[in-house]
Structure 1
Amino acid sequence: MSWVQSAVNSPLPSGAVVGGQDSDGTVIYVGRAYHSGDLLPAKIIPQKQAAYVSYNGYEVFVQNYEVLCGDNYMWVSSGYGQVPEGSVPGGRSSDGEVLFIGRASFEGSLTPGKIHPSHQCLYVPYDGQERNFQNYEVLVQKPEEDCCSCCCCSWITTNVRNRLPKNPVVAGKDSDGSAIYVGRAWHNEELFPAKVISARNACYITVDGKEVFVENFDILTGTGFSWVTAQNGEVPDGSVQGGKLKDGTILYVGRVTHEGSLTPGKIVPPHHCMYIAFNGDEKRFMKYETLVKQGCDCANCGCVCQCPYTLAKFKDKINGRPSRFISLIPILPFMLGNQGKSGFKVDIQNNKITAYFFFKFITLAHMKSSRLLVHTVYCHFKSTWVRAGIRGKIPRNAIYGGHDLEGNTIYIGRVKVGESILPCSIIPFKRIAYTTYKGLTIFEEEYDVLCGDTYHWIPARDGEAPEGSLIGGKTAKGENIFVGRVAYKSAVLVGMIVPSEGCLLVSIEGKEECFKEYDVAVLKYREGCVCCTIS
């Protein structure tokens, strides 16, 4: 944390923390200043050569102040004088009470001020007066190191003139190929999901049928996100909240392909659809992808993880002692083949391990006092490969993979070509199934179609496939091939990820095309409250 001395007629220090924006869109930065024996959080507006604090019912102009600088902060919702751990102290009253930095939206502004815990509210200076709010956001300093690289995320306040923060979440790309990032922005006291295009110094939201440019916004940062197919205003568990309307409606982050772009926008559940901002207008879609947060079931952050190879939290009921949580790394990753619902037993150095499974998975074990203590993971897998053909009907629970240029649904399949088993695209409306092989498009009449509901899509590149990626086949040499997809013009096309090729191979207009960046289908492990149980 760094406070830099400055004044209204001095240039703004580098790395100043953005606190919000004034009603006219002018950027407000976070500061603090002395007044009448108090050290008070301040709002700094360099473009107006002004800084203000809130004191005794009034907005008070101050000439000299300190500016908060750095990039390791985030805003967390709170209220009634409460502040979470890590909240940034912005001052101290004359009687010794610590004051924290908060902000609230008011009359088209997003204004920082002082959280006064004993008063159970936030005060902000606005239009000559001191305004109080019981609900607000608190400025929190993030830890030096994330507790787990797979789950940490935050909203970082910035504006179109600043550089992107570390690890911004990519939502897609514009029609010209420019990357689009996930953001959110305030407009008329409502918070909306936003599309951020840093290459153009631009950020847009969609409001009342129009695309609206905004200068100040929050950008989502972190890892552990994926995109899950949904429709009709539905959002799966773990969907990322990107905003909130005055009536309390929660808005979620979604994305769709449109005119060669892959554009994020707002999912409005009561409207049974999602909207995007595009070429000045608001576009409406019934089918879309939802941004979903994967958790990390580690002892430090307490969220739920969908990856079995991360740290796990278990109840220790050894020798009848009260339950407590212990952290341990999964070991003994047994792949059970066709064990199905049957149990199995394994002896390791005279220690007996017994585990029971619904389907193939792993056990997690912990050594203590020369005894091997076993915890069983029950994983309810709901996907399988079903034999089918172009003359028959597609199974009802076939997994959606994307859509072609005409908007026809593509399902995920696999076929045997020579000595290889290859992922394929199935388009029931056209009665075709095809894959790419040695640079050409190969059509097949019979195939296996993937059925179930336990896959989501995670961005990857250069032939990489994360743990849990869907294996859609094997080359003649035994190399695993994974299932991926890519946005192409107005389509989302399914293809094969061949690690040794370093890319995703897709059949387009009879030819094999290579894409370095793509999404990969990953098994959605349903642990904890997601859907699997640990005993």
Structure 2
Amino acid sequence: MPVWLRGGIGPIQPEVLAQGSGEPEAREITWVYTPDADLPREAFFAGENENCDEMFIGRTVVDGDMIPGMIVPNTGQLIFSNKGVITTTDEKQVLCGVVMKWMICQPTQIHHKAVIGGRLADGQSIYIGMATINGKVLIGHVDPSKDHKLFVPYEGRQESTRNYKILIAGISGYGFRPDLYDPSALSYAPNDMPSAPQAPHWHHPQDFPPVGPGQLPPGPPGNVEMHNGGYFWVNNSTFSNVPMHAVRGGTDSDGSEIFVGRAFVGGDWCPAKIVPARGEAYVAFDSQEHVVTNYDVLCEQRFQWVPAYGGQVPPNAVCGGQTSDGERLYIGRAYHEGSSTVGKVHPSHNCLYIPYGGEELKFDSYEILVRM
């Protein structure tokens, strides 16, 4: 059973691979302990080598250093170089996430969003780099203390280069503050706003089939429902916390993370705020906050929050549900009493509703979730 770990690492202990330690970094970056050849399905796809084999990234501990390297295709072994020695091992953590990319590196500095791949015993952070040497695509570690060079295993020996790409994390900020809201900053004209997209986002025609009184809505096909727009819904029966690619919606007043979801309440499919720390989701409906335990989670990270007001729906807004009479509801959020929380944009009501403190609260100004 893989052990899920946060992106950060602290002082290295011998058991660090199995238990993990240190301060958390971005939730989008996760290291999974995987001592076998079957990699997690969330493993970050780092590209293809010269033989068109898929490449993945791992790290391990040796002599007090935590060193990243490349996972050998087909074997699942991690190969890395450290202090001039090339080593392979099955004991490794696998890098997981989707919001990362390779960027050409400046040879004299480390990008401020570079992914920390490990740490030396003296506390020096090292990073993940990729280079092509004599036609071979190689992954290794970047050591800022050694002239910002990339060190890679090559044909049984360690090679170094300053001509490489470094792995960058693409992390977006969260948190809407209405006191800072300026309608003039909208990237679209208010009069240009459609009430709903002309073409439906839903990939499956039976996304919202009629449901009679007392009946439960059918689950999505295979518990994972894919869409053409770069996002998908996962039913919460398939996981114990939230999926790796869940879309974060904000932070509750008690500091708990909030994620974007949807649930079936009172005949409507409604956007929901999911609080994994409580194992519950919350829906604003019929002037009340409803607690639900059966819900879908919105996944993927190709989204941004766009300021809006008065029920406006910008192009490419994410549809999170629909009412019993067929009106589409969209995913929005607002800041209230220390909580940046998720709710439903109801276009015909010209507002956003959020579930909070046992009530359904109305906001004229809000942010709406939009596909990038």
TM-score by length of 1: 0.34
Higher strand proportion, which one?
Answer: 1
Ranked by relative contact order (alpha carbons within 8 Å, sequence separation 6 or more), the top structure is 2
